[in-house]
Structure 1
Amino acid sequence: MAGIARKYAASPLGEAISAARDLRGVSQRKLGVLIGQTSAGLVSRWESGERTPSVDDVQAIIDALEIEGEEADRLLALAAGVGQPRRFSVTLPERRAELAELLAAERTATKVTHLAPLAIPGVLQTADVIRTQMHEAGVPETEIEERVLTRIGRRDLITRRNPARLEVVLGEAAIRYRIGGPAVWADQLRYLIEMGELPNVELRLVPYSAGWSPLLVGSFLLIDSDEAPSIVSLDLHGSGLTLRSPEDIKSHRRDAEATQEKAMSPAETAEFIAEILHDLEQG
C-alpha cells in the first residue's frame, strides 16, 4: 500500500555483514563502492533482509573488508546456506564454504566412514602424493604448498588426543594407480599400512574379484558426531554436494555397511597391500 514502508527482518547473514562492516568503520555506501556495486542502497537492503547477497557477493565483501579466518568462514557458510538438507556447491566461494563446513564437522567427529573406490582418502595420503596430484591437476605453484598443509592438517582427525574412529573402504584401483612414480607410491603404500595399524583406524579393501557393491556407485564421506547432526559429503568433478536429511544419511549408511560386507578384513587388507608393495619394490 502506498505511503506505508515495508519492513523486513534482518537475516543472520545480513546481521553478520553489518557487524563486520561496523567493526572496520566502513559505511554502507563505502562498502558498495569497494565491491563495485552501482546501487548505493544495495548493501543496506542486504543487511536489512530485503535482499539476499549471493555467495560471490559475500566473497567480494570478505575481500574488500580483508576478513580472514573463522569470521570469513562463517560469512561464507551463511551465504552458502549451510544446514540445508541438500546443498550443491559449484563456485569457488561455495566450495570454500563447503570445505569450511567439512573441516568444522571433522573437528567434532566421533566417527568418519569413507568409501573410496578410486583414490586413497586425503587424510591417509603422503605429502608427496598430495603434491603430485596438485601438480597434475594444474593447481598454481603458489597455492600448492598451502593446500598440501591444509590436507595434512586434516590428519588431526585421527591423531588428536580424542581421535575419531575412521573406517575406510578402498577399491582395489585406489592402491593400483601409481601416483608420483614407483618410489613415491611405495612410500604411500607403507604409510597406508602404518595408518591401518592405529587402533582407531579400520582399513578394508574391496578386490576386483568381489563383483558389484555400492562402492562402484562412487565415493562419499559420512561424518557422525555427538555434537552435531550427521552429514554426507560427496566430492564431484569441480563441485560438491552436502547431504543432511535423515533419508540421505540412512541411505548412505546402508550403502557403507553393504560395502563393508563385500570387503576384506583389516588383516587381509594389510596383507594384500603388502604384497603389492613387495612387487613394486622388486620392480
Structure 2
Amino acid sequence: MRTNPTGRQTRLGGELRKLRERAGLTATQAGRLLGVKQNQISNMEAGRVGVSPERVRALAVHYRCPDTEVVAALCDMTADRTRGWWEEYREILPAPLLDLAESEHHAVRLRTAVTVHIPGLLQTPEHAREIFRQDAPELSPPDIEHRISFRIKRQAVLFRDAPTAQHVVIHEAALRMQFGGPKVARQQLRHLVEMSERDHVVLQVIPFSAGAFAGSGQSIYYIHGAVPQLDSVNLDQSHGPVFLDAEAQLEKYGVLLRRIEAIALTPEKSREFVHTIARNL
C-alpha cells in the first residue's frame, strides 16, 4: 500500500470517487458489486493502492458511466507506472513541486496568466536563480541549485519530439521587473521572444494601458488533461503549489483566462512589445 501517493495517483482515485457518487452508491455498495471490502474501495479512491485498467472499466460499468473518452483517459492513468525524472527529487524538494512536474508531463496543453513573474517554463537559469534567492525562509546555495535544475528539467515538455502547447499571457509589469539587473533581464526577455517564435508557444502581453482586468490579482496556471474532466488549475502560493480540480473551480478559472487572453495584445504585437522593452534596458 502506498503511504505517499503522487498527485496523479490521488487524482485518479478522486475521479473514481466522483463516478461512484454520481451513481448514488456508497463505498460499501461499490465493494459488494466488485466482490471486495469497503476499505479496498476507499483505498483505491485515496490513491493508496494501484488500480488496473480492467478494474477501472469494471467500475465504469457498475457506475453506469457512458463517457467512453473519460473511461479511456482513466485507464491510461493506471497504465503509466513508469517513474518520471522528477522522482530523483523526492527527498530533496516538496512533494507538490513533483506533482506539478508530473502534471505538466502528462498535460495536452498549458495556459498561464501572470502579472509579476515570468512563467517557470520560460525562465532562464539566471532569472530563476534570482527568484529563488528571495525565498523565505532563505534557501541554502545547494537548495537553490536543486530548484534551478528542477525548473530547467520541467521545461523539457516544450522541447520534446511532441512538445506540449503553451499559451502564456504576461503583464507588462512582469516584463519590466529587472530580476538580477539589466543584463539578466535583457537575456530573459530575449529568451521569451525566441520561445514565442516556436509554433507550439503563444505569447501575449497585457500593457499597462489596458487598465484593470479580471483575475489581475493572481497568477493562473491551467493544465489541460486528456479530457476536460481531468483538467486542473495550479495556483502558485508562497507555501507552494495548490491544485484545484472541482468543476466549479475549473469553470471559474477557464472564464478568467478567456477574458485575460481577449484583452491582451496579439502574439505579433506582443513579440514586438517585448523586443522594445529589451532594447531599452
Q: TM-score, normalised by structure 2?
A: 0.66
Using the TM superposition, name which of 212-221 and 171-180 deviates more: 212-221
**1:36-47 correspondence runs (5 A):** none
1:96: Cα distance to partner?
2.2
> Hey, which bits of structure 1, 4+ residues long, moved more than 4 A?
none
Go from structure 1 to structure 2 and tell me whether the alpha carbon gap of 1:250 and 1:127 turns closer, same or farther (over 3 Å shift). Answer: same
Measured against aligned partners, the alpha-carbon deviations of 1:215-239 in whole angstroms (never above 9, x if no partner) come to: 4131011101217711101011224
- 1:83 maps to none
Measured against aligned partners, the alpha-carbon deviations of 1:242-261 in whole angstroms (never above 9, x if no partner) come to: 10111111111111000011
3-state SS, counterpart of residue 191 of structure 2: helix
- 2:67 maps to none
- 1:198 maps to 198
3-state SS, counterpart of residue 217 of structure 1: coil
3-state SS, counterpart of residue 133 of structure 1: helix
- 2:249 maps to 248
- 1:96 maps to 94
Q: Within 2, Cα distance between the matches of 1:200 and 1:14?
A: 38
**1:186-265 correspondence runs (5 A):** 186-226=186-226, 229-265=230-266
1:14: Cα distance to partner?
5.6
Q: Within 1, Cα distance between the matches of 2:153 and 2:224?
A: 19
3-state SS, counterpart of residue 161 of structure 2: coil
| Paired residue type of 2:103 | A
Q: Within 1, Cα distance between the matches of 2:247 and 2:174?
A: 30
**1:62-211 correspondence runs (5 A):** 96-137=94-135, 138-211=138-211
| Paired residue type of 1:258 | R
Q: Within 2, Cα distance between the matches of 1:108 and 1:263?
A: 28
| Paired residue type of 2:242 | L
State the superposition RMSD in angstroms: 2.7
- 2:27 maps to none
3-state SS, counterpart of residue 155 of structure 1: helix
Measured against aligned partners, the alpha-carbon deviations of 1:78-122 in whole angstroms (never above 9, x if no partner) come to: xxxxxxxxxxxxxx99x8222222111111111100111111011
- 1:23 maps to none
Give the conservation status (yes or no) of the 8 Å contact 2:225–2:232: no
Measured against aligned partners, the alpha-carbon deviations of 1:170-192 in whole angstroms (never above 9, x if no partner) come to: 11111011010111111111101
Structure 1: segments with no counterpart, 5+ residues: 1-11, 17-47, 53-68, 77-91
Q: Radius of gyration: which is bigger?
A: 1
Q: TM-score, normalised by structure 1?
A: 0.65
Q: Within 2, Cα distance between the matches of 1:178 and 1:204?
A: 19
Q: Within 1, Cα distance between the matches of 2:210 and 2:3?
A: 52
3-state SS, counterpart of residue 214 of structure 1: coil
Give the conservation status (yes or no) of the 8 Å contact 1:158–1:164: yes
3-state SS, counterpart of residue 232 of structure 1: strand
Q: Within 1, Cα distance between the matches of 2:150 and 2:256?
A: 29
1:212: Cα distance to partner?
1.6
Give the conservation status (yes or no) of the 8 Å contact 1:116–1:215: no
| Paired residue type of 1:123 | L
| Paired residue type of 2:269 | E
| Paired residue type of 1:141 | P
Go from structure 1 to structure 2 and tell me whether the alpha carbon gap of 1:149 and 1:170 turns closer, same or farther (over 3 Å shift). Answer: same
The number of equivalent residue pairs is: 202
Give the conservation status (yes or no) of the 8 Å contact 2:97–2:241: no
Give the conservation status (yes or no) of the 8 Å contact 2:121–2:151: yes
Q: Within 2, Cα distance between the matches of 1:15 and 1:150?
A: 20
Percent of counterpart pairs with the same letter?
27
| Paired residue type of 2:131 | Q
3-state SS, counterpart of residue 234 of structure 1: strand
